Copies of this chain bind each other. A is one copy, B any other.
Amino acid sequence: MSAIGDVARLAGVAKATASRALSGRGYVSTETRAKVIAAAHEIGYVASPNAASLVTGRTQSVGVIIPFISRWFFGEVLESVEQALLDQGYDMTLYNLPPESLERDRVFDFFLARKRFDGIISVGVALSEREVDHLHRLGRPLVGIGGPIRGAATIEIDDVAAARLATEHLLSLGHRDIVHVGGSQVDEMDFHVHSNRLRGFQAAMMAAGLSVSGCFYSAEFTMPGGYERGLAILGDPRRRPTAIFAASDEIAFGLILAARELGIRVPTELSVIGIDGHPHAEMFRLTTLAQHPRAQGGLAVRTLLAELATKDGTKLHTRRESIAPDQCDADGTSDSIVLATNLVIRSSTSAPRARVTHRS
């Protein structure tokens, strides 16, 4: 269609001048700039980012790696990241890498190696040292959400503390017979979320002088996952706890539905607390420890773009042989930002009904 040469010709200037006028870099007189802009507007000129990135090394686009799209937390993060990037004129290229994905190596060795983006945001995907090195070698900054990545800035919540707080809420209501339903360590693709929440639970229980043996059940991180597990746990009246701490709101919803199905009243006969702050929590009147995925997404974008701005001088496709490892750390960018969670009390939790405890 129309190239910058056409604009230059129409405005009666050289390509170089047209480029300066449009990009705002370098010296251009006010009138010339106006002429060029008018000419560009007239023929509907839109710059080709390909051509520009070929020489500048900047692509104005960011790659996002994420294991799920339809799960609430990830969907929210994705929406906020996309929004924030769009605001800044960046494109977002999405790589969906489910935990058991076979594509993983291909994405790293082929797609990411193509250097199509200025930076990468990795959401809930723990990267191996090799993978981080790979990205570093490409000179592309990396920001993680949801857990620490060695040598990269990370936005996260304190899962141990959140789980401890949730458990302490139940303890403070007087519960002693508490069970934790969370994700299994086996398919713990996303950092150590599952085990951290378990650890927080155990820490709180042990601090209260309670045993934690037999108090953990794993479930799929979904509403049906919680439902199935709930039917199993609550089915036997003699082993029924007075409260359950669910590792996610969706699990908690499933547990509540299971309880209702079995005729167990929430919170009178069973208290349930979750972690997330899912919008459906209101409907289920679920007490939960709210985290804020949209804030995490927005912050990740700001962090990444700030890092890019720092590098601004350095052409990204610089030819230096390699970046010294210590130089990366010297950036001061490898620290992690911990975002707050807050307890939202609704009516799925209350003091336990006075009754004989069936469990030891």
Which residues does A use to contact B, with CB under 8 Å? 1, 46-51, 53-54, 59, 61, 69-70, 72, 75-76, 78-79, 82-83, 86, 89, 91-96, 103, 106-107, 110-111, 113-116, 138, 223-224, 227, 254, 257, 260, 279-280, 282-283, 317, 319
Contact = CB atoms under 8 A, between A and B. Distances in A.
A297 to B, nearest CB: 11
13 contacts: A1-B317, A46-B114, A50-B50, A51-B54, A69-B69, A70-B72, A70-B79, A83-B96, A91-B93, A92-B93, A223-B280, A224-B279, A224-B283
Nearest to A137: B1
Nearest to A53: B50
Contacts of A106: 86
A103 B86 contact: yes
A319 B48 CA distance: 15
Contacts of A227: 283
A79 B49 CA distance: 27
Nearest to A107: B86
B91 A116 contact: yes
Contacts of A76: 70
Contact of A59 (B1, B47, B50): B50
Contacts of A224: 279-280, 282-283
Nearest to A96: B82
Given A75-B75, A86-B111, 4 more contacts: A48-B115, A50-B59, A70-B70, A91-B116
A48 B92 contact: no
A144 B99 CA distance: 30
A238 to B, nearest CB: 26
A54 B319 CA distance: 22
Contacts of A78: 69, 94, 96
B79 A96 contact: yes
Contacts of A107: 86
A254 B79 CA distance: 24
A83 B76 CA distance: 20
Contact of A94 (B82, B110, B282): B82
Given A86-B103, A93-B91, A94-B92, A49 B282 contact: no
A172 B61 CA distance: 54
A204 B50 CA distance: 54
A92 B93 CA distance: 6
Given A54-B54, A283-B224, A114 B49 contact: yes
A285 B70 CA distance: 21
A111 B47 CA distance: 11
A313 to B, nearest CB: 19
A243 B54 CA distance: 62
A300 to B, nearest CB: 16
Nearest to A139: B1
A86 B104 CA distance: 11
Given A50-B116, A116-B50, A260-B260, A69 B61 contact: no
Contacts of A48: 54, 114-115
A346 to B, nearest CB: 14
A161 B298 CA distance: 42
A224 B278 CA distance: 12
